[in-house]
Structure 1
């Protein structure tokens, strides 16, 4: 084997290694980004559910108060 072939092989190995490292970094970055977005979406869904339940509770309390007020007016 001559020096030119050896240099070509070394260059190809280095380029292949760099390509593999870049693909690994891209893959890990993609996975981390995906999981972060998934957690954010779950948190947003939880907040929306809590807000909805709070609004339902407030509506029920308002209806209950109106009903009691009407009953009180009818009794007096």
Structure 2
């Protein structure tokens, strides 16, 4: 039983050390300001829309081609 308690204490100590490291790394992050965040979000939405449009166009063309060949 004592060995298990020691193992639990060691695991708890490692967990605390891990979260202290995470906290230190989060403090180092260069967080974007509101303007940068809005700008980057707009870029992501625009690019996702463009890629979605390209996929839709390709799907429509392939479906039409297969319909022409099969039907």
- TM-score, length of structure 2 as denominator length: 0.54
Among 56, 61, 68, the alignment partner of 1:30 is 56
- CA RMSD in angstroms, aligned pairs only: 1.2
Matches within 5 A, 1:1-76: 7-45=33-71
Q: d(CA) in 2 for partners of 1:34 and 1:13?
A: 31
Name the SS for the 2:33 alignment partner. Answer: helix
Where structure 2 has 5 or more consecutive residues not aligned to the other structure, the ranges are: 1-31
Where structure 1 has 5 or more consecutive residues not aligned to the other structure, the ranges are: 1-5, 46-76
Q: Which has the higher helix share?
A: 1
The runs of at least 4 consecutive aligned structure 1 residues that moved more than 6 Å come to none
